[in-house]
């Protein structure tokens, strides 16, 4: 035990006071002198992977200028230089570093500051200036060789992210904009030392807390299904940040570096591993659940969903298009994990209006309206743009079209008084356009009431006819998967009795799917069991529902589409990289041994 310091764990961060602590003198009153030994100390600590920060009552620019002179400013991370009390600021620094206070040391010459910091951070280590000369030789500050300063680079990434995060409208918007990508790798022996370090040094995101010797890890890599995780985003490459081992379907090791805390990586990997059994030990800063999968993360080395000829001479990657609104936009994140050749056509914003070109009336109009009629609608309606009648998702060469006509269940249809064949869709399908709509000018509202008749929600007969029309425009070899609407009784002031509308249109949709070739109904009501499966309205679901919808799409593809084409559907992937399930159907199916083939397929590991 040294000086006033009461720490027991290896120190990973030192937070420095400046005046009469790091340097001699008070910078607001006179020139200060930075001892050369302190400059060397900061560089030595950085080379050992021990980070440094500042909590000082001073003028920020004055302090920065002084530290820039001696090439130290960039070696401090998350510095707090202002006139605010230190207790809460030190707490914020620790949170930004995503460390436990037990691994942090605060140094200050003022006993009152030490007491204040200790009050707000009871487990932090504190010390006076006498400790500075003892740090270099103290084994608790030995760190590890980090002469390339990779640890500093990682924390500088966090520092840059913190600035952008403060400017984001929400945390999830920030995470989505960050372009987070994870990569699962399996050459664990090539990164043995880093994996051993993760197992033995991580705490906050170490769910199993099994500490291993080198010999034990070596045996584990030989006997278990193991993988390590790399992460990168717009701010940089975090390197190897996680490790897992699966033994008999149980996660025996599951740990992550705190540098990815808050990204959701630990839950994402848990989801793509199939939510295996895990016995957690001790406390962790986040909890794993059995249903969610963060939709702001993408897989860098995605497994491939393919159709493979039974001769195995060639492999064909499935071309899948998603056409719809919010429901399929959320589902897309989960399908991306299978690395199918995915194209998407969703609603989008135009001059504060949301454009829904997936409505069956708009799709049909894109084929039947003259160019003159289309241009007339675009020029007179502020909520239509030049792309509203684009229908490239129908004309393209695809294997599967996944379509959600849910917007038909919501928007109102307006028919031209002069020509009832011409219509547009907009606004609440039950109440029509509000005279007080602040997005529309009075002239536009008057024109709509003068030239168009409000017909409400599309009729079930018209809806059915439009679906038949859509099917006729697709290539006969293109499979069509259609989602229906929830029939739960959701209470919403702007959508009264909406569930009844869903029930009526669902009947037409079911009839269409039953009478159309190569067309499949995905009944969301087999997934949705209560109003709690929705968020803010009947058309918006929880993440669990979107995940289950994605799994249902995969199941329809596996059980119907590929097999009907006389092909075998597989997930062509590396060992252990299962997102939903592996289904290999071979000649065993024809020989009546399908169940045996399925069990074998589930156990295959490349």
Per-residue model confidence as pLDDT tens digits over 154-180: 898 888 888 777 777 778 888 888 889
Which DSSP string do the residues of 329-390 spell out, in sequence order? Answer: HHHHHHHHTTT-EEEEEE-EEETTEEE-TTSHHHHHHHHHS-HHHHHHHHHH-TT--TTTT-
Least confident of 60-69, 143-152, 308-317, 469-478: 308-317
CB of 66 closer than 8 Å to CB of 27 = yes
CB of 411 closer than 8 Å to CB of 359 = yes
Q: What percent of the chain has pLDDT over 70?
A: 85
User: What confidence score (pLDDT) does residue 303 get?
Assistant: 39
Least confident of 35-39, 150-154, 160-164, 201-205: 160-164
User: What confidence score (pLDDT) does residue 445 get?
Assistant: 87
pLDDT at 279 > cutoff 70: yes
Question: Could you read off the pLDDT of 368-385 as tens digits, one per residue?
Answer: 999 999 999 999 998 898
User: What confidence score (pLDDT) does residue 598 get?
Assistant: 41
Element (H, E) at 522: strand 519-522
Q: What is the mean pLDDT of the segment spanning 73-100?
A: 94
pLDDT at 308 > cutoff 60: no
Report the 10 Å Cβ neighbour count for 374: 17
What is the C-alpha separation between 417 and 419, in angstroms, rounded? 6
DSSP 8-state secondary structure symbol assigned to residue 77: -
pLDDT at 110 > cutoff 50: yes
User: What confidence score (pLDDT) does residue 1 get?
Assistant: 37
User: What confidence score (pLDDT) does residue 90 get?
Assistant: 97
pLDDT at 428 > cutoff 60: yes
CB of 524 closer than 8 Å to CB of 486 = yes
What is the C-alpha separation between 521 and 12, in angstroms, rounded? 56
User: What confidence score (pLDDT) does residue 593 get?
Assistant: 42
Q: What is the mean pLDDT of the segment spanning 583-604?
A: 39
pLDDT at 599 > cutoff 50: no
Question: Could you read off the pLDDT of 462-513 as tens digits, one per residue?
Answer: 999 999 999 999 998 899 999 999 999 887 666 667 899 999 999 999 999 9
pLDDT at 138 > cutoff 50: yes
Least confident of 73-77, 313-317, 431-435, 492-496: 313-317
User: What confidence score (pLDDT) does residue 597 get?
Assistant: 43
Count CA atoms within 13 Å of residue 591 on its CB side: 9
b (16+ CB within 10 A) / e for 120-134: bbeebbbbbeebbee
pLDDT at 584 > cutoff 80: no
What is the C-alpha separation between 408 and 147, in angstroms, rounded? 61
User: What confidence score (pLDDT) does residue 438 get?
Assistant: 60
CA 163 to chain centre: 20
What is the C-alpha separation between 507 and 503, in angstroms, rounded? 6
Helix (H, G, I), strand (E, B) or coil at 518: coil
Most confident listed range (13-17, 307-311, 343-347, 489-493): 13-17
CA 130 to chain centre: 47
Instruction: Note every long-range contact of 72-77, with CB atoms under 8 Å and residues 24 or more positions apart, other chains counting.
Output: 72/34, 72/39, 72/42, 74/156, 75/42, 75/43, 75/46, 75/152, 76/16, 76/52, 77/51, 77/52, 77/53, 77/152, 77/155, 77/156, 77/158, 77/159
More confident residue, 490 or 53: 53
User: What confidence score (pLDDT) does residue 130 get?
Assistant: 94
Mean pLDDT of the chain: 84
Q: Report residue 382 as tokens.
A: 């502020």
308's CB contacts (< 8 A; 6+ apart) are 314, 315, 316, 567, 568, 569, 570, 572
Domains of the chain: 13-148 (3.40.50.1000), 168-299 (3.40.630), 304-365+390-408+466-564 (3.40.50.1110)
Q: What is the mean pLDDT of the segment spanning 272-300?
A: 89
Give start and end residues of each alpha helix (H) in 454-525: 460-473, 498-515
């Amino acid at each position: 035990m040294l000086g006033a310091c009461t720490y027991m764990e290896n120190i990973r961060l030192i937070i420095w006071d400046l005046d009469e602590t790091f340097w001699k003198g008070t910078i607001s009153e006179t020139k200060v002198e930075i001892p050369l030994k302190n400059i060397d100390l900061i560089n030595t600590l950085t080379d050992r992977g021990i980070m440094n920060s500042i909590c000082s009552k001073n003028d920020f620019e004055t302090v920065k200028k002084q530290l820039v002179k001696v090439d130290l400013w960039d070696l401090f991370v998350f510095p707090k230089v202002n006139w605010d009390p230190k207790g809460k600021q030190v707490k914020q620094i620790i949170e930004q570093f995503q460390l436990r206070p037990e691994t942090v040391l605060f140094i200050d010459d003022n006993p009152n500051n030490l007491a204040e910091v200790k009050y707000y951070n009871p487990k932090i280590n504190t010390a006076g200036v006498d400790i500075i000369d003892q740090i270099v030789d103290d084994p608790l500050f030995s760190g590890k060789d980090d002469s390339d300063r990779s640890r500093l680079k990682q924390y500088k990434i966090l520092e840059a992210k913190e600035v952008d995060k403060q400017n984001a409208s929400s945390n999830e918007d920030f995470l989505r904009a960050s372009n987070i990508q994870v990569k699962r790798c399996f050459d664990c022996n090539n990164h043995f030392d880093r994996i051993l370090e993760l197992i033995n040094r991580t705490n906050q995101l170490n769910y199993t807390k099994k500490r291993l010797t080198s010999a034990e890890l070596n045996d584990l890599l030989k006997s278990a299904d193991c993988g390590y995780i790399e992460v990168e985003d717009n701010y940089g490459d975090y390197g190897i940040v996680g490790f897992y081992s699966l033994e008999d379907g149980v996660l025996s090791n599951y740990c992550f570096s705190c540098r990815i805390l808050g990204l959701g990586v630990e839950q994402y990997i848990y989801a793509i591993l199939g939510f295996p059994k895990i016995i957690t030990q001790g406390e962790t800063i986040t909890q794993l659940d059995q249903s969610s999968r963060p939709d702001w993360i993408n897989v860098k080395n995605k497994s491939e969903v393919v159709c493979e000829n039974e001769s195995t001479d060639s492999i064909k990657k499935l071309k899948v298009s998603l056409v719809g609104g919010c429901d399929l936009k959320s589902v897309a994140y989960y399908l991306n994990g299978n690395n199918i050749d995915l194209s998407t056509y969703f609603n989008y914003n135009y001059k504060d209006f949301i454009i829904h070109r997936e409505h069956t009336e708009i799709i049909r109009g894109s084929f039947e309206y003259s160019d003159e009629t289309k241009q007339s609608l675009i020029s007179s309606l502020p909520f239509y743009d030049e792309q509203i009648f684009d229908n490239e998702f129908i004309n393209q060469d695809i294997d599967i079209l996944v379509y959600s006509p849910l917007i038909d269940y919501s928007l109102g249809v307006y028919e031209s008084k002069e020509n009832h064949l011409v219509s547009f869709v907009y606004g609440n399908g039950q109440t029509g356009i509000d005279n007080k709509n602040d997005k529309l000018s009075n002239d536009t509202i008057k024109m709509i009431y003068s030239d168009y008749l409000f017909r409400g929600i599309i009729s079930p007969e018209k809806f059915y006819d439009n679906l038949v029309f859509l099917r006729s425009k697709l290539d006969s070899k293109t499979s069509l998967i259609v989602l229906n609407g929830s029939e739960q009784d959701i209470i919403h002031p702007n959508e009264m009795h909406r569930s009844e509308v869903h029930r009526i249109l669902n009947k037409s949709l079911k009839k269409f799917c039953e009478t159309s070739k190569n067309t499949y109904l995905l009944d969301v009501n087999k997934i949705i069991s209560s109003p709690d499966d929705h968020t803010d309205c009947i058309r918006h679901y929880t993440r669990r529902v979107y995940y289950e919808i994605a799994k249902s799409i995969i199941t329809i593809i596996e059980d119907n589409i590929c097999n009907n084409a006389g092909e075998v559907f597989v997930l062509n992937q590396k060992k252990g990289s299962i997102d939903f399930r592996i289904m290999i159907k071979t000649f065993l199916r024809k020989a009546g041994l399908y169940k045996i083939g399925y069990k074998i397929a589930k156990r295959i590991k490349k």
